[in-house]
Amino acid sequence: MQIYNRSEQILRPAQLFYVWMSLIIALLLNFLPTQTWAGVPDWVALVLCIWMIRETRLVGMSWAFFLGLMMDIADAAVLGQHAFAYVLLAFGAGGLSQIGRA
């Protein structure tokens, strides 16, 4: 049995369940106490950027704002700090996605 990766399979839209689960897992990974470790990425920002480029219809700036508020509450940071950064990231990634489709 051979598996072929056809372009139709790769270009199909992602299911909403996978998008939600990956964002929830990224949020949980950000809750781990790894601030002192070198080289640990901001998982929510990374996954949010990927989904904003890949599936702009499913993940928008409202998701970025909500996840940013969750990170502000979890880190006890200034309310809106992560939210603003994630919205800017989502805006930039959405712009990149539009450039790639033009």
Instruction: Return the DSSP state at 12.
Output: S
- State if pTM tops 0.85: no
Could you tell me the pLDDT band of residue 96, with boundaries at 50, 70 and 90? Answer: confident
Q: What is the pLDDT of residues 48-69, one digit of tens each?
A: 999 998 888 888 899 999 999 9
Could you tell me the two tokens for 31? 């809750």
Least confident of 7-11, 12-16, 21-25, 81-85: 7-11
Q: What is the pLDDT of residues 66-91, one digit of tens each?
A: 999 999 998 888 888 999 999 999 99
Q: What is the pLDDT of residue 89?
A: 94
Could you tell me the two tokens for 72? 């502000």
Could you tell me the two tokens for 5? 């990766």
Burial class (CB in 10 A: 0-12, 13-18, 19+), 47: buried
Alpha helices, H only, 32-80: 43-54, 61-75
